[in-house]
């Protein structure tokens, strides 16, 4: 697919590539001069903690945890369960 830049060095992507107005794209320029556009989903700063390697591993481990889910109804129950999981009971 051949496209040309306009007077401001902008390019227009055809609708068939699946990029919509307002989409965020990561632009990478390779050593050989090729340009790669990668669609990304920006994450707000206050949610970045959830995207650390440690957090993702903990979530993956929790999904394979064979223990049954526990429903708690009071703060007192939460404290008791947290102590049990921490081995403090």
Structural domain of residue 28, as residue ranges? 1-42
Residue 50 lies in a domain: no
At 16, which CATH number? Answer: 2.10.260
String of DSSP letters for 7-51:
TTS-----GGG---TT-EEEEEE-TTS-EEEEEE----GGGGGGG
Domain assignment present for 25: yes
- With respect to residue 77, please indicate whether it lies within any of the assigned structural domains: no
65 domain-assigned: no
Answer whether residue 66 is part of any domain: no
Q: What is the DSSP letter of 68?
A: P
Has residue 36 been placed in a domain?
A: yes
Q: What is the pLDDT of residues 25-73, one digit of tens each?
A: 999 999 999 999 999 988 899 998 888 899 999 889 888 888 788 788 9
Residue 89 pLDDT more than 60? no
- 49 falls within a domain: no
The pTM of this model reads 0.48
CA distance 55 to 43: 15
Rg (CA), the chain: 24
């Amino acid at each position: 697919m051949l496209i040309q830049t306009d007077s401001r060095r902008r390019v227009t992507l055809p609708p068939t590539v699946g990029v919509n107005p307002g989409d965020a794209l990561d632009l990478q320029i390779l050593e050989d001069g090729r340009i790669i556009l990668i669609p990304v989903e920006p994450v707000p700063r206050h949610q970045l903690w959830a995207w650390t390697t440690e957090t993702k591993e903990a979530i993956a481990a929790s999904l394979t945890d064979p223990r049954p889910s526990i429903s708690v109804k009071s703060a007192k129950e939460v404290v008791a369960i947290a102590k049990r999981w921490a081995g403090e009971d």
